[in-house]
């Protein structure tokens, strides 16, 4: 699980190094697939329930599950890159929302809030806590800043399958939901909208978009539940310190 988490983390950094105005999301998908295979792994998303690409590329008002396309990223866009790997029978899954060139202050606030809400959620991921404690931590932080949390999609357990129980919603009530136990591995992945929380499904059956057309951000890390403190298996360190 740890090896998968690190491979996904490094792939996201490789994609991030190539994000600039003018590149298409399909070109970035090809870069990711090549990189994942160079590590000896397979793209975890490719063919998963029929998904036709290695990455989910969700630009601006796309919340998650966007198809890579011939769309050329432009200055001021934000793009959520969600990546999976499969290696030695296990899965990795993490996501990061990148700014393209210079973005507005409002969009920077959205990215910061979403990432911080993820860490708030991780802080609750200890044995005996419940998934509702994670959801509450994410939701209360996000809503205190005037943003909203998408409820139609949730985090999840991960292991020999990409999506395992329990579901890990980004909203909830303290003390409710599934009890976390030592040894569980979960993905926490807040999807945060700048405007209203409502979303709709695109005609291709995959892309999830904000109904009001405002932007949405998405960050995801993989966490092992340990006795004393959460062990965060994937990392944004390669992205943010620009190393590999
Ligand atoms: Mg993901
Ligand atoms: Mg996930």
Show the domains of the chain with their CATH numbers: 2-243 (3.90.230.10)
User: What per-residue confidence (pLDDT) applies to 236?
Assistant: 98
166/177 Cα distance (integer angstroms): 9
Q: Which ligand is nearest to the CA of 168?
A: 2
CA of 80 to the centre of ligand 2 (A): 12
CA of 84 to the centre of ligand 1 (A): 7
Average pLDDT, the chain: 97
Share of the chain above pLDDT 70, in %: 99
Is residue 162 within 8 A of residue 217, CB to CB? The reply is no
pLDDT at 243 over 70: no
User: What per-residue confidence (pLDDT) applies to 228?
Assistant: 87
Q: Which ligand is nearest to the CA of 84?
A: 1
User: What per-residue confidence (pLDDT) applies to 244?
Assistant: 53
CA of 214 to the centre of ligand 2 (A): 22
235: preceding bond cis by omega (within 30 degrees)? no
Q: How confident is the model at residue 242 (pLDDT cuts 50, 70, 90)?
A: confident
CA of 178 to the centre of ligand 2 (A): 18
CA of 56 to the centre of ligand 2 (A): 11
Is pTM beyond 0.95? Reply is yes
**The two three-digit tokens of residue 80, written as one number:** 């959520």
Give the pLDDT confidence of 198-208 residue by residue, as tens digits. Answer: 999 999 999 99
Give the pLDDT confidence of 153-192 residue by residue, as tens digits. Answer: 999 999 999 999 999 999 999 999 999 999 999 999 999 9
């Amino acid at each position: 699980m740890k090896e998968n988490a690190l491979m996904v983390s490094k792939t996201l950094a490789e994609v991030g190094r190539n994000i600039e105005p003018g590149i298409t999301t399909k070109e970035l998908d090809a870069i990711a697939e090549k990189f994942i295979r160079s590590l000896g792994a397979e793209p975890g998303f490719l063919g998963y329930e029929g998904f036709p690409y290695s990455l989910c590329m969700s630009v601006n008002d796309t919340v998650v599950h966007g198809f890579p396309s011939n769309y050329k990223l432009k200055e001021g866009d934000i793009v959520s890159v969600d990546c999976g790997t499969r290696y030695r029978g296990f899965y990795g899954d993490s996501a990061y929302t990148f700014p393209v060139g210079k973005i507005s202050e409002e969009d920077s606030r959205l990215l910061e809030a979403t990432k911080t809400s993820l860490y708030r959620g991780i802080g609750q991921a200890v044995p005996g806590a419940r998934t509702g404690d994670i959801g509450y931590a994410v939701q209360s932080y996000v809503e205190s800043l005037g943003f909203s949390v998408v409820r139609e999609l949730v985090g999840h357990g991960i292991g020999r399958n990409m999506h395992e129980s329990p579901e890990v919603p980004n909203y909830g009530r303290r003390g409710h939901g599934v009890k976390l136990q030592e040894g569980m591995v979960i993905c926490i992945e807040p999807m945060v909208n700048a405007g209203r929380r409502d979303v709709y499904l695109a005609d291709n059956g995959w892309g999830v978009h904000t109904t009001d057309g405002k932007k949405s951000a998405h960050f995801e890390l993989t966490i092992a539940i340990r006795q004393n403190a959460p062990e965060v298996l994937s990392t944004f360190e390669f992205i943010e310190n620009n190393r590999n």
